Each structure stands twice: as structure tokens, then as C-alpha cells.
Amino acid sequence: MTRMVDCALRGESLEGLDRVPYPGELGQRIYDNVSKVAWQQWLAHQTMLINEYRLTPIEPEARKFLEGEMEKFFFGEGSAKPGGFTEESAGD
């Protein structure tokens, strides 16, 4: 049976994640309130952030930054694209 959630990002009832995607309280909050579709949107946005800011996700500062952006993306004002980012520059 499919688990449905009222998606915090998309504002509609959609299929939920199969498991907690991130450790701790934030991961549980995402599991409870974020759909698979919205999670895929986050993964694409996170990849863009990592590439544009040249982050190394194993570094504590980078992980802290990405966690903050994840929280804003799903539950806050949204995670902004880096200054000067355009979809055309993504293919370079």
C-alpha cells in the first residue's frame, strides 16, 4: 500500500518516501511531510548547489550549509539559486 503525505513543498497529497532520507529530526520531518516528487526536486537543487558552490559534502561546513538549505527548501522561504546562476550555465 502506498503511503501518502500532505507535501509541504507541493501543497497536495502525494506518495511519500519509502524511508527516512536524512538522519535526525529533520529527516523524520521530511519523511512525514515531503513527497517522493518533492524529494527528487531537492536532489536536483542540492546537486546544483554542490556544483555551483563547489562544495565537498564530506566537509562539516558544507553539510551544515546543505542541511540549512534543505530545511529552507521544504519548510522555509525556499532555497535560492546561487547568484548569477542560469539554466543555460548549468550545461557548461
d(CA 60, CA 10): 30
d(CA 87, CA 92): 10
Closest CA to 14 of 33, 32, 35, 28: 35
Provide the whole-model pTM: 0.84
What CATH number is attached to the domain comprising 37?
Answer: 1.10.3880.10
Q: What percent of the chain has pLDDT over 90?
A: 80
Count of the separate structural domains present in the chain: 1
Q: Could you identify the residue written with the cell 527528487?
A: 40
* 8 A C-beta contact, residue 34 and residue 8: yes
Give the tens place of pLDDT for each residue, 65-83. 999 999 999 999 877 776 6
Query: Domain of 51?
Result: 4-90
